[in-house]
């Protein structure tokens, strides 16, 4: 499962990914395995795109259309199970980080992230 910043880096600045992250993404691509993304990441991307210094190299509409048509990407919804898991992750202060970690836990997925707060909490297996 991809953290929001990993998705953006993978699409626009792959050189900023670690070797382990790049290997994991390329390996999943070769095997035809879908990459998961929490639905909360869409909200984070929308907020980033509307900021003073937009994080995307294309329009938000184009970015979302490309994500939606990407067969190797699976958007995981925020469900009751994820919301309950979010409530148990009080150690993470950022609501989006909580939702992403909770989604990974509920679906038993490793999270590809560089976010030190998530990594240090040891709440979910990560690829850093």
* Domain residue ranges in the chain: 4-127
CATH number 3.40.50.1010 is the correct assignment for the domain at 4-127:
yes
Contact status, residue 73 vs residue 35, Cβ threshold 8 Å? yes
Q: What is the spatial distance between Cα 76 and Cα 39, in angstroms, rounded to a whole number? A: 6
Average pLDDT over residues 101-122: 97
Q: Which of 72, 64, 82, 4 is nearest to 32 (CA)?
A: 72
pLDDT of 63 reads 92
Q: The whole model's pTM is what?
A: 0.92
Average pLDDT over residues 9-18: 93
pLDDT of 80 reads 97
pLDDT in tens, 37-63: 999 999 999 998 887 667 787 889 999
């Amino acid at each position: 499962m991809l953290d929001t910043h990993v998705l953006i880096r993978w699409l626009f600045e792959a050189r900023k990914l670690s070797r382990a992250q790049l290997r994991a993404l390329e390996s999943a691509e070769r095997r035809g395995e879908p990459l998961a993304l929490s639905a909360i990441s869409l909200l984070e991307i929308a907020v980033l795109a509307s900021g003073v210094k937009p994080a995307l190299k294309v329009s938000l509409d184009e970015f979302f259309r490309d994500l939606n048509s990407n067969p190797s990407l699976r958007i995981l919804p925020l469900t009751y199970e994820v919301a309950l898991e979010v409530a148990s992750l009080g150690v993470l202060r950022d609501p989006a980080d909580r939702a992403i970690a909770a989604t990974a836990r509920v679906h038993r997925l490793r999270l590809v992230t560089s976010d030190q707060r998530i990594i240090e909490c040891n709440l979910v297996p990560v690829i850093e």
